[in-house]
Chain A
Amino acid sequence: RPFESHFALGPIYSYTARPSLILAQHRQLLRQAAAAGGRDDDPSPPAVWSPVSLHRRATHSQHNGRPPPPSAGPPSSCGYLDEQFCQVEDLQDDASPNFTEEVVTLFFKDSARLISNIEQALEKYPKDFSRWDAYMQQLKGSCSSIGASRMKSECMSFRDCCGQGNPEGCMRSFQKVKREHGALRQKLEAYFQLVRQAGPAGAATRPV
């Protein structure tokens, strides 16, 4: 099972631990694994690589009593998500066990609509920079709310081009926004698949 081989969660799970503690430990391991994981262009680890930002430095983990492998790159160079994503994750609890995924689902629904609006505006309203900017401001706001830092950065580049009255720059930036959107969707889908594979808290079958 790919999840086992890359995240080695065996020693952490305990039948006697409280479910919320198991979940908290699991999430911590996911973050550590992400921090220790490969870069975006690294062929390994596999597609279930977690997108969580490397801002949280991997401390010596408890799994197998060994520290995690060193980070593959500088913290900010491949961070699709920033600290805000961790803040959203921290709001997840037993009362709202799927909060993060719900918020992310809302984000992709909202962002797809906004991207479509921008695409139409670019075509229907040439050089209407204030209209383009207004739409992109909304998209940037959504990115900011879930910590989608790379996508937010491209949104800001687009807005800069609007401010400069540079339509070609806007078009190029917009393509980058769409690319980052697609990449983020893939990463987060893989991440939540991983979380689901781990199973609900307290339902672990791995021995201590």
Chain B
Amino acid sequence: MAGCKGGLGGEAPHVLAVDDSSVDRAVIAGILRSSKFRVTAVDSGKRALELLGTEPNVSMIITDYWMPEMTGFELLKKVKESSSLKEIPVVIMSSENVPTRISRCLEEGAEDFLLKPVRPSDVSRLCSRVLR
């Protein structure tokens, strides 16, 4: 699969993957790495925000919708409310095709909404659209 072009200095874009499922985390990380992204995978919205506070060069966040304690939607809102984080594209993943859920996420500023299981072709599409 063709990889994404790097950012400044040709460095691979850094993607933060958020999913409470260890299986899904492994699969999405594998897909992202095969597309030549640099990947950090965490298991909760809380950990994602902690990492975003210390890691300045996250190019994209891809997060599961349904997670305990903080949903992907809540994470999206927090990112978009933050002056330092709001420019980071956020992509939501979900195993359920619920139109109202999708609209709500897109209205809140999500770049895209992917249905699980996520395929490499979904990530290729993201690369061209989201990481301009």
Contact = CB atoms under 8 A, between A and B. Distances in A.
Interface residues of A, number: 24
Chain B's interface size range is 10 to 19
Contacts of A90: 120
Is chain B's binding surface mostly helix, strand, loop or mixed? Answer: helix
Interface string B99-121: 00000000000000000110110
A142 B25 CA distance: 11
B82 to A, nearest CB: 29
A147 B118 CA distance: 12
A107 interface: yes
Given A103-B27, A141-B116, A144-B116, A91 B21 contact: no
A128 interface: no
B17 to A, nearest CB: 13
B24 interface: yes
A145 B23 contact: yes
Given A84-B117, A87-B119, A140-B95, A145 B31 contact: no
A91 B23 contact: no
Contacts of B117: 84, 87, 144-145, 147
B26 interface: yes
Interface of A: 84, 87-88, 90-91, 93, 95-96, 99, 102-103, 106-107, 109-110, 137-138, 140-142, 144-147
Interface of B: 21-24, 26-27, 30-31, 33-34, 66, 95, 116-117, 119-120
Given A91-B34, A102-B26, A110-B23, 18 more contacts: A87-B119, A91-B30, A91-B120, A95-B33, A96-B30, A96-B33, A99-B30, A106-B22, A106-B26, A110-B21, A137-B66, A137-B95, A138-B21, A141-B21, A145-B21, A145-B117, A146-B27, A147-B117
24 contacts: A84-B117, A87-B117, A87-B119, A90-B120, A91-B27, A91-B120, A96-B30, A96-B33, A102-B26, A110-B23, A137-B66, A137-B95, A140-B95, A141-B24, A142-B24, A144-B95, A144-B116, A144-B117, A145-B21, A145-B27, A145-B116, A146-B23, A146-B27, A147-B117
